[in-house]
Amino acid sequence: SSGRPGRSYYIDGDVKLTQSVAILRYLARKYDLGPRNEEETRELDVLEQQARDLATNLIRSFVPGVNLQEARKKYEDNMGNV
């Protein structure tokens, strides 16, 4: 969150943001692209968490010492839960 190389970083005038989700939420609010009611807000919350779960599972597949074949199978099995 310090704006180090390799991190998402966004500047819009006086607004300076790091973190992908914070940047996306800012842009959605700025351009009125966000959810318009409670139902859409809940749906967005679920989709955001599903994307995070997918990314986390994918990253875990590449941790040193992990059996890649086993990790791949587990990742593919979890894809059915999305």
* In the chain, where the domains are located: 1-34, 37-82
CA dist 23 and 79 (Å) reads 26
pLDDT of residue 1: 45
Higher pLDDT, 60 or 2: 60
Burial class (CB in 10 A: 0-12, 13-18, 19+), 70: exposed
In the structure, what pLDDT confidence band is assigned to residue 17 with cuts at 50, 70 and 90?
very high
Cα four-point dihedral sign 19, 24, 10, 17: negative
CA angle 63, 23, 30 (to 5 degrees): 160
